Amino acid sequence: MLIPLLSLLALAQATPPASSPAPLPSDVAAQDWRPIPDDELLVMTLTGNRIVVIRLAARFAPQHVANVRTLAKAGWWDASSVYRVQENWVAQWGDATEKKKLAPGVVETPAAEYEIGAFTVAQRLSKPDSHSTASGFSADGWPIATDGKAAWLTHCYGMVGVARGPAPDTGSGSELFTPIGQSARRLDRNYTVVGRIIEGMKYLSALPRSDAAMGVYATEAERSGIVSIRLASDMPATERPKFEYRSTDNARFAAYIKLRENPAPPTIGSGGVELCEVPLATRSVPAK
Amino acid sequence: MLIPLLSLLALAQATPPASSPAPLPSDVAAQDWRPIPDDELLVMTLTGNRIVVIRLAARFAPQHVANVRTLAKAGWWDASSVYRVQENWVAQWGDATEKKKLAPGVVETPAAEYEIGAFTVAQRLSKPDSHSTASGFSADGWPIATDGKAAWLTHCYGMVGVARGPAPDTGSGSELFTPIGQSARRLDRNYTVVGRIIEGMKYLSALPRSDAAMGVYATEAERSGIVSIRLASDMPATERPKFEYRSTDNARFAAYIKLRENPAPPTIGSGGVELCEVPLATRSVPAK
């Protein structure tokens, strides 16, 4: 039964402000939207036709992304699962047994890609945070932090990291995870970030939590089945999703950050915003 | 089917570090655990016997907590629901119609309690964050921030806030919400914090997200039923839960923070930790 409109309006009066998941069209100029290449889109299909789309950080973690592409092309994840969901921590997927042989061409232990070449951002936030001396966004919409010496992609909610064994083993990329809470920034510089979930995060964040050790589901029945993981570039043209990201190297995004840092009265602002609090917009577009 | 132990061990090799939801017993001395008064424990029972326990911030938001107690004593929330779950934002509960008359004795619009009297913390974090000039924990385990002038309880994951209409209406406390993502600190100083979820957060964080406006479920069927909300002090002694919190005014907690800020090698630390990233321990204890 639909809630009457009047009731919805009443609700709007007593709720925290909308989270602005999507910017208003007026905030974004047409040229701010730029295409994400098909081979930087990873499409994970969970049972029940729940689609999760990951944007790959190809230029920041090229070796791990190469592995991910090889695994996707080999259909390596087909019939695998989301096998770990730990409250206020991570959801993790891949081969629950961790015994499955990797696909040919996958480098089992690539060199670490915990850090990136340089702190090159189009928009810098006004205030440092607890983990860095400066942070901001690359022109192509990735969250980046620095301590003045090194720079790195940050483990914000919805970013995709590579699970691994003890350092310096960085993991192949076959087991991936995403932070589902508010506490993963301490993984920065210790784990390789390979991407960010741009659609369907709700299918991972709302999975039942496990109370077993490290949140690994104690039974097979608890796991969420993965039907397939494919690169968009390997999908038939008719099924292939198309996405654009909102670029940050423009006055509209600068104004957006400024408003987040200094909201309009009567809202009290702090003059700052935490990197992981800023929604990074993408949008689905029709195939051409 | 149980995962064989060997397989679990293998998994442990390829996962991000445990989130340390609970400190090891050796980190906490017996006297660090202190009782939470029964009338500062709010027990929300969802359908399916899912229990959520909220610790009330009685000394920080006395007027709103008084309202919450009055509503609980009146059984006002019985047969209400969790009616809003917005991805990376909040879960909200109360009367979905917002038309239900408040219980006798409830102050409909108490004065704002967005800020607290003073920045009185037992443990101060080493680095400021994007929202404050200093932050830390009260001796009794509440996260507090300051800008050098005002001080406030912070909207961390799992804190409980009072939904409201446009300022200066602060809301009565009948509609409550908890942040389920990483982006709610901007509610600081704009909403009244009345508590923190200390057990059963997983039942709220894992609820299905709604794509409808502001995450309000579009149909009644989507709502999660609330059977009752009671103060522990009003429950029969045999059913009454007992909880203790970990106090922060001691060397063990100081060492714990220090280790979070400067983890042991080979883990790379930043020398800082964000306030909302620090797990605040509580434990369930047998009734006496």
Per-residue pLDDT of chain A (288 residues; tens, 9 = 90+): 233 333 333 333 456 655 444 445 568 999 999 999 999 999 999 999 999 999 999 999 999 999 999 999 999 999 999 999 999 999 999 999 988 999 999 999 999 999 999 999 999 999 999 999 999 999 999 999 999 999 999 999 999 999 998 777 889 999 999 999 998 999 999 999 999 999 999 999 999 999 999 999 999 999 999 999 999 999 999 999 999 999 999 999 999 999 999 999 999 999 999 999 999 999 999 976
Given CB atoms, is A33 within the 8 Å cutoff of chain B? no
Output the pLDDT for position A12: 39
Closest to A84 (Cβ–Cβ): which among B15, B92, B273?
B15
Residue B17: the pLDDT is 59
Q: Which chain A residues are Cβ-neighbours of B163 within 8 angstroms?
A: 14-16
How many domains is chain A built from?
A: 1
- The whole-number average pLDDT for the span B70-91 is 98
Structure tokens at B115: 């800020």
Contact A186 B99 (CB under 8 A): no
Q: How far apart, in whole angstroms, are the C-alpha atoms of residue A172 and residue A158?
A: 20
Please state the separation of Cα A43 from the chain's center in Å. Answer: 13
**What is residue A287's predicted lDDT score, i.e. its pLDDT?**
78
Pairwise CA distance, residues A239 & B56, whole Å: 51
CA-closest candidate to residue B119, choices B159, B150, B154: B150
Higher confidence at residue B165 or residue B107? B107
| Interface membership of B11 toward A (CB under 8 Å) | yes
Q: Quick one: which of A217, A282, A219 has its CA closest to A247?
A: A282
pLDDT for B5 equals 33
Per the CB < 8 A criterion, the answer to whether B151 and B117 are in contact is: yes
Q: In this predicted structure, what is the pLDDT of residue A248?
A: 97
Pick B175's closest partner by Cβ from A14, A171, A179: A14
Minimal C-alpha gap between A105 and chain B (Å):
20
Our measurement of the distance from residue A145's CA atom to the centroid of its chain's CA atoms, rounded to an integer in Å, reads 16
Please check whether residue B5 lies inside any domain of the structure. Answer: no
pLDDT (0 to 100) of residue B26? 62
Please report whether residue A34 resides in a domain: no
Give the mean model confidence (pLDDT) for residues B209-234: 97
pLDDT of amino acid A26: 62
A87 interface with B at CB cutoff 8 Å: yes
List CB contacts (< 8 A) between A146 and chain B: none
Cβ contact (<8 Å) for A179 and B177?
no
Q: Is B200 on the interface with A (CB under 8 A)?
A: no
In a domain, A21, yes or no: no
A125 inside domain? yes
In the chain, the amino acid numbered A63 is Q
Residue B256 lies in a domain: yes
Check CB contact under 8 Å for B205 and A88. Answer: yes
Dist. CA B8–CA A99, nearest whole Å? 11
Single out the residue of A165, A194, A205 nearest to residue A72, CA to CA: A194
Q: How many helices (H) and strands (E) does chain B have?
A: 4, 15
Q: What is the CATH number of the domain that holds A159?
A: 2.40.100.10
Q: Residue B174: closest CA among chain A residues belongs to which residue?
A: A14
Is A227 inside any structural domain?
Answer: yes
CB contact under 8 A, B220 and A165: no
Q: Residue A33 in contact with residue A244, Cβ under 8 Å? A: yes
- Does residue A96 belong to any structural domain of this protein? yes
The pLDDT value recorded for residue A98 is 82
ipTM surpasses 0.85: yes
Asked whether residue A76 is domain-assigned, the answer is yes
pLDDT at B115 over 60: yes
Quote the minimal CA–CA distance from A237 to chain B in Å: 27
Q: What's the domain range around A131?
A: 39-241
Query: Which residues of chain A neighbour B12 with C-beta distances below 8 Å?
Result: 213-214
Count chain A–chain B contacts defined by CB atoms under 8 A: 263
| H-helix or E-strand spanning residue A10 | helix A5-13
Q: Is A5 on the interface with B (CB under 8 A)?
A: no
Contact A165 B14 (CB under 8 A): yes
CA dist., res. B13 & res. B179, Å (int): 31
